[in-house]
């Protein structure tokens, strides 16, 4: 889609990636066409709502560290997914890219609506690999002064049932991870990916004192509190991933300053583990996140 007639959007080239820059009177944002990845969002007068690495690279075939990567049609390491998901990949599972095929694919801007209050964008991708059943995805993004809404629609275009896992892998900025709390998960069970995938129960608010990588059973809004700032996340999924790499893992991560773990946390809207999505031929599914 040509942006020449757009009032608020313009094309940007950053290193190897094409980006849509959005300058609205009420907010600004940037969206990479590779991966349909929202890189930043900043309402007028607010600090950025999303965390983006100061060492981010904008390279073809590599997801940018930060923003909201789209993980689809599987989440994380394919080999850690349920067999119902793994069975669809027609290749060596050890060579399957982490977090699926979509986050490094080139998406197309298929619709754009603008007015004085908001900007709505729709991006679409078709079949991504012959190694996966025929599927298509659309990402709808709504930007407003007081909220950010993403809706990831999946459609099974193959003649057979397909099971997927997926995520909107949201990176959020914090003042100091050691003082951060996440509410809304009290009493919920979670899978601890750092403790042999054992099941645990959350006691009180989520707090951070070490590397954290958990898949929570979650329903209802989540509240991130960082100093005087808070964010509320509302989704329609039954699973949420909470992740922070802490000190040691930060030394090994790409596009990541060794002390950046102190200033970010991921609260990821997922359909993962126990919450995977089975789609019959022609069936669609929508994963939605609202951030306020």
* Beta-bridge partner residues of 224: 182, 231
Catalytic residue among 140, 169, 217, 229: 169
Q: Residue 237: which of 169, 185, 288 has the closest Cα?
A: 288
Burial class (CB within 10 angstroms; exposed 0-12, middle 13-18, buried 19+) of 97: middle
d(CA 38, CA 66): 9
* Ramachandran angles phi, psi of 77, nearest 5°: -75, 120
Active-site residue 117, yes or no?
A: no
3-class DSSP state of 95 = helix
- Known catalytic residue: 268? yes
User: Which phi and psi angles does 3 have, rounded to 5°?
Assistant: -95, 5
Look at residues 91, 95, 143 and name the one whose alpha carbon lies nearest to residue 117: 143
| Partner residues linked to 103 by β-bridges | none
| Ramachandran quadrant class, 260 (left: phi over 0; alpha: psi -120 to 50; beta: rest) | alpha
Using CA atoms, how far apart are residues 125 and 39, in angstroms rounded to an integer? 18
Q: Which residue out of 30, 88, 217, 268 is catalytically annotated?
A: 268
Alpha carbon distance 73, 105 (integer Å):
12
Q: Which residues are catalytic?
A: 169, 268
């Amino acid at each position: 889609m040509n942006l020449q007639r757009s009032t608020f959007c313009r094309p940007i080239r950053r290193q190897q990636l094409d980006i849509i820059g959005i300058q609205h009177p009420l907010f600004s944002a940037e969206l990479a066409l590779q991966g349909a990845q929202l890189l930043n969002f900043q309402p007028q007068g607010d600090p950025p709502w999303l965390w983006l690495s100061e060492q981010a690279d904008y390279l073809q075939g590599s997801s940018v560290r930060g923003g909201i990567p789209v993980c689809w049609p599987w989440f994380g390491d394919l080999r850690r997914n349920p067999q119902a998901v793994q069975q669809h990949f027609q290749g060596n599972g050890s060579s399957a890219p982490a977090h699926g095929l979509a986050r490094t694919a080139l998406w197309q801007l298929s619709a754009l609506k603008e007015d004085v209050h908001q900007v709505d964008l729709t991006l679409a991708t078709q079949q991504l690999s012959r190694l996966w059943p025929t599927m298509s995805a659309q990402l709808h993004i709504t930007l407003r002064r007081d909220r950010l809404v993403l809706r990831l629609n999946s459609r099974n275009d193959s003649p057979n049932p397909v099971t997927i896992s997926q995520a909107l892998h949201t990176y959020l900025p914090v003042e100091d991870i050691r003082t951060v709390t996440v509410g809304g998960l009290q009493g919920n069970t979670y899978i601890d990916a750092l403790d042999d995938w054992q099941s645990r129960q959350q006691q009180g608010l989520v707090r951070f004192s070490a590397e954290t990588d958990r898949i929570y059973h979650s329903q209802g809004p989540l509240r991130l509190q960082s100093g005087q700032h808070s964010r509320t996340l509302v989704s329609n999924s039954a699973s949420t991933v909470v992740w922070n790499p802490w000190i040691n893992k930060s030394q090994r991560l790409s596009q990541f300053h060794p002390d950046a773990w102190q200033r970010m946390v991921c609260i990821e809207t997922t359909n993962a583990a126990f919450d995977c999505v089975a789609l019959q031929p022609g069936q669609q599914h929508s994963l939605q996140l609202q951030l306020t």
